[in-house]
Amino acid sequence: MNTDQLDLWTSGFGRDYAGRNPITDEVVRRQLRRWGRILSHTVTPFPSSVLEVGCNVGRNLVALAQMVERVHAVEPNAEVLEAARRNPALSRADIRVGSAFELPFEDASIDLVFTSGVLIHIAPDDLPRAVDEIVRVARRYVLCIEYFSHEPVAVRYRGLDGFLFKRDFGQYYLERFASLRVLGYGFFWKPLDAGDNSNWWLFEKR
């Protein structure tokens, strides 16, 4: 499935994003702190496998590789995917070419499936297919870390229209999937946490 948004991120635009967001020791420390907060809300058993949908160069993965037994990811931009694969910290990670629209995994095959700053770049009409795939692959937990807005809104992004969409993604998941219940939610503040100001929602799939 091709979309205008996917075409943008598989171009040099995705490579440039990676260049603006390098993985430093400080980023890893902050990511470990972020993931400690999130995963403290999981219930027994602790997830042994995770899948990031849209990993770019792997800022989340370098932390998760220290916390979770099996780390998987998909990334549509082949150039930044290769950069993630070359990272020694991700030598054991399973990183594949792919997008949220068609995940190359079996039903209920990964304990925790998540996005971080990815759903905001999917057009509203395409969002159902993406979240359906995420929930399909998740065995136990679904997590999204995204920008928040009380009402769905399109925001100009780096001079472009039609490439960033905010909403209450937590509520969107709950309204679409009766099988999900909230385990935790919170806010990451840019001055103290890796990345931008964003909200997160962790769900258990029942």
Would you kindly state where each structural domain of the chain is located, as residue ranges?
Answer: 4-205
Q: pLDDT at residue 168 above 80?
A: yes
Residue carrying the six token digits 């702190």: 33
Q: How many CB atoms lie within 10 A of CB 52?
A: 26
The mean pLDDT of the chain is 95
Query: pTM of the prediction?
Result: 0.96
Taking 3-state DSSP, the helix, strand and coil percentages for the chain, each rounded to the nearest 5, stand at 35, 25, 40
Encode pLDDT of 25-68 as tens digits: 999 999 999 999 999 999 888 999 999 999 999 999 999 999 99
What CATH superfamily classification does 4-205 receive? Vaccinia Virus protein VP39 (3.40.50.150)
For 137-164, the pLDDT digits (tens) are 999 999 999 999 999 999 999 999 999 9
Could you write out the three-class secondary structure of 143-186?
A: EEEECECCCCEECCECCECCCCEEECHHHHHHHHCCCEEEEEEE
Interval 96-125 mean pLDDT = 98
Residue 165: the pLDDT is: 98
